[in-house]
Amino acid sequence: MIKRLWAKLGLSSSPTAESLSSENIPVHVAIIMDGNGRWAKKRGLPRMAGHHSGMKTVKRITIAADRLGVKYLTLYAFSTENWKRPKAEVDFLMKLPQQFLDIELDELVSNNVQVRMMGSRDNLPPHTINALEEAISKTANNTGLVLNFALNYGSRMEMLDAIRDLAKDVKDGKLAPGDIDEEAMSERLLSSGLPDPDLLIRTSGELRLSNFMLWQLAYSELWFTDVYWPEFTEKHFYEAIGQYQRRARRYGGL
């Protein structure tokens, strides 16, 4: 009763999974995991400690999303722009998928989670690709939550590749210019086969998309929090979903 009242007022009490409507769970949640570095700095720790702690949040939120019945969880782990960081940090970030999967893969397999990767394999070190390929192949037949790592991902790069592919098909006479529609574009993006995100979450107080899923987020609900990714908990996740459930999605209609 109290919770409903809070919700009516647009306020969030301390949300729990049970306070959410099971009818309206977002099918696809995408997250820009930001603030690892600032979290570490605030504690006088090296930036890497922030990334390491962020990896634990990945586990926490994967479990929470799975329990709620989210079908797709896309996590922005490394952008095409992140190569500009100091080499030591890039090297560290490139080790995280392997570290994470070394510990978690068996549990992901037994929990029916399917691992995917969305990004360019170019320039990724072999140990990163191998760890991901192993996880992708071992979980390929799983039918539960799809855990999609956006790694070496950039939306403009992805769209340019898709446009080049469309142009080639037109040049080769396989496609008429008039037949280029949203479907033709979507199926050439790295997210092909995934529905567009219903909800985008970005942590750490930054209010921008940072070249993330620019095409796919056209009608997504956006939710921002000041909380840094390493301290993002299930409660924050439920809060985001509670907000999502209180919004009216009109897709440009009335």
- Report the catalytic residues: 34, 82
Decide: 53 and 39 in contact? Cβ < 8 Å: yes
| Token digits of residue 223 | 């939710």
Which region, judged by CB under 6 A, interacts with ligand FPP, from 49-57, 64-72, 154-162, 187-195? 49-57
Cβ at position 20, least distance to ligand FPP in Å = 24
- Closer CB to ligand FPP, residue 36 or residue 148? 36
Q: In this structure, which amino acid lies at residue 168?
A: K
* 58 counts as binding ligand FPP under rule CB under 6 A: yes
Site string for ligand FPP, 102-131 (x = CB under 6 A): ------------------------------
Q: Which of 149, 153, 232, 244 binds ligand FPP (CB under 6 A)?
A: 149
**Using N-to-C axis directions, what is the helix angle for 87-110 and 47-68, rounded to 10°?**
30
- Closer CB to ligand FPP, residue 47 or residue 71? 47
- Closer CB to ligand FPP, residue 153 or residue 244? 153
* 229 counts as binding ligand FPP under rule CB under 6 A: yes
Q: Which of 73, 77, 117, 145 binds ligand FPP (CB under 6 A)?
A: 77
| Token digits of residue 201 | 């979450």
Under 8 Å CB-to-CB from 57, ≥6 apart: which residues? 33, 229, 230, 231, 232, 233
Distance CA 91, CA 237 (A): 29
Task: Enumerate residues 5-44 that contact ligand FPP by CB under 6 A.
Answer: 33-38
Distance CA 254, CA 252 (A): 7
Positions at the binding site for Mg(2+) = 34, 221
CA neighbor of 153 nearest in space, from 56, 232, 74: 74
Consecutive H or E run containing 53: helix 47-68
Residues touching ligand FPP, count (CB under 6 A): 20
CA neighbor of 209 nearest in space, from 72, 27, 32: 32
Interface with ligand FPP by CB under 6 A: which residues? 33-38, 50-51, 54-55, 58, 77, 82, 93, 96-97, 100, 149, 204, 229
